[in-house]
Amino acid sequence: MQRFAFSDTLNRLPQQFFANLVQKVQKLKDEGHDMINLGQGNPDLPTPEHIVEELKMASDNPEYHKYSPFTGQVFLKEAIASFYKSEYGVDIDPETEVAVLFGAKTGLVEISQCLLNPGDLALLPDPGYPDYMSGIALANARTAWMPLMEENAFLPDYQKLDEKDLEAAKLLFLNYPNNPTSATANQAFFDETVDIAKKHNICVVHDFAYGAIGFDGEKPQSFLQSEGAKDIGIEMYTLSKTYNMAGWRVGFAVGNRSVIESLNLIQDHMYVSLFGAIQQAAEKALLGDQSAVDQLVNTYENRRNVLVEKLNEIGWKVQAPKGTFFAWLPVPEGYTSEEFADILLEKAHVVVAPGNGFGEAGEGFVRAGLLASEDRLSEAAERIGKLGLFTK
């Protein structure tokens, strides 16, 4: 059979670092080992029942069996605006400041193609979500890294960035609560970001995927709560984490009108929006009873407490995450991130993600997901403790 060569665009795409990890896990599972998989980022709990019931009912509507409006149903965009007003006190024009997305990942890849020309520069967090790089590669653009260091609470230090990079940059990606470090950001940091972006004419893209998941009574800050944020940027939100709707592929971008216009334009050429019944269920999620969200956050916080307590008991000194459903854990001396992750995988049958898969500055850490029951998290810590790698 003839093999046809990939385009230069496809060849520019970064390799999927975690594909190798998935293969290792599957091999051990096939051998019959009981794997505790904390390396994933896939919510393990079901979508709240009232949202599922709304989808079932809405699916009977014959109007939804036709093509949806290209830019999304008006009622969903109005629900998004109402959600942002009630949750964050931010005014959003549903007609001009909302773009409905096929999950936030789609928008995070598309945005580089919307705003970057070949050779243009984007500022990316290191470590960070790998798919930011995918969009930049598709746009044939360049990257400059913003290291997220523990001594700076895993926030980029704008004062340490190269002035030439700041002058050249057209896009700046942020993500708080942060994947993979689980760090959070306050308004002072976002205020500083707005000032930097205005000074250097940079568009800020804030990935707010974990916006609902903050611990110890702290509500995560929206970037758009900072004065002037809509002048220079957008925020992307997903229903995947807040409502356990990962497979539904519902996300949205809100903020700067010209950037929203660009997202709607590229999607005009690629999609015909989401199935109308899914949009109606998404409206229900955003405007309906939010007690399921509170329960979800409480579940993750309880899991966090169990994992952190048990890891410290075995001598692994770790800090409690402030947000997301991840824990960012320091690797013991003498090991790289991959070496340590491999030991946990092969000897304890516990899966974690090596930090260097998220960027060079992720070396020295592993990421563990709070996406298993408290009992399984406790068992994972016990298995690791039996390896004798830590001194109590």
pLDDT-derived band of residue 392, with 50, 70 and 90 as boundaries?
low
The answer to the question of residue 279 being in a domain is yes
One domain for residues 64 and 182: yes
Mean of the pLDDT values across residues 139-155?
96
Do 250 and 274 form a contact (C-beta atoms < 8 A)? yes
**Which helix or strand (DSSP H or E) is residue 85 part of?**
helix 74-88
Indicate if 23 and 12 belong to the same structural domain.
yes
Taking only the tens place, the pLDDT of each residue in 96-115 is: 999 999 999 999 999 999 99
Domain span at residue 338 reads 8-47+291-385
Same domain, 326 and 245: no
Q: Is 169 found in the same domain as 22?
A: no
If you average pLDDT over every residue of the chain, what do you get? Answer: 95
Same domain, 236 and 370: no
Q: Is residue 268 part of a domain?
A: yes
Same domain, 281 and 365: no
Answer yes or no: do 31 and 124 share one domain.
no
Share of the chain above pLDDT 70, in %: 100
Task: Say what the pTM is.
Answer: 0.95
For residues 364 and 330, the answer to whether their CB atoms sit within 8 Å is: yes
Beta carbons of 51 and 248 less than 8 angstroms apart:
no
Residue 161 has pLDDT above 90, yes or no: yes
Number of H helices, E strands in the chain: 15, 12
CATH number for the domain that contains residue 14: 3.90.1150.10
Scanning the structure block, which residue is given the tokens 């229903």? 239
Indicate if the pLDDT at residue 320 is higher than 80. yes
The pLDDT score that the predictor gives to residue 30 is: 87
Query: Do 169 and 186 belong together in one domain?
Result: yes
Shared domain for 201 and 60, answered yes or no, is yes
Task: For residues 42 and 55, state if they share a domain.
Answer: no
Among residues 355, 316, 308, which one has the least CA distance to residue 178? 355
Q: Examine the domain organization and report whether 233 and 301 are in the same domain.
A: no
Say if 102 falls within a structural domain: yes
pLDDT at residue 17 above 80?
Answer: no
Is 263 part of a structural domain of the chain? yes
pLDDT tens per residue, range 198-222: 999 999 999 999 999 999 999 999 9
- Interatomic CA distance for residues 260 and 99, integer angstroms: 6
DSSP state of 39: S
Q: Final residue of a domain: which of 287, 308, 324?
A: 287
The last residue of one of the domains, among 269, 287, 305, is 287
Greater pLDDT, 158 or 23: 158
In a domain, 30, yes or no: yes
The pLDDT value given to residue 41: 84
User: What tokens were used for 47?
Assistant: 């979508």
Quick one: average pLDDT of 344-369? 95
Last residue of a domain, one of 235, 259, 287: 287
One domain for residues 14 and 108: no
Please report whether residue 390 resides in a domain: no
Residue 2 lies in a domain: no
User: Into how many domains does the chain fold?
Assistant: 2
> How far is C-alpha 171 from the chain's CA centre?
17
Confidence of residue 292 (pLDDT cuts 50, 70, 90): very high
Each residue of 24-64: pLDDT tens digit? Answer: 888 888 888 899 999 988 888 999 999 999 999 999 999 99
Q: What mean pLDDT comes out for the span 162-184?
A: 97
**CATH number, position 164:** 3.40.640.10
pLDDT confidence of residue 174: 98
**Residue 117 pLDDT > 80:** yes
| In the predicted structure, residue 247 carries a pLDDT above the cut 80 | yes
CA distances from 89 to 83, 169, 224 (A): 9, 30, 9
- Tell me if 77 is assigned to some domain: yes
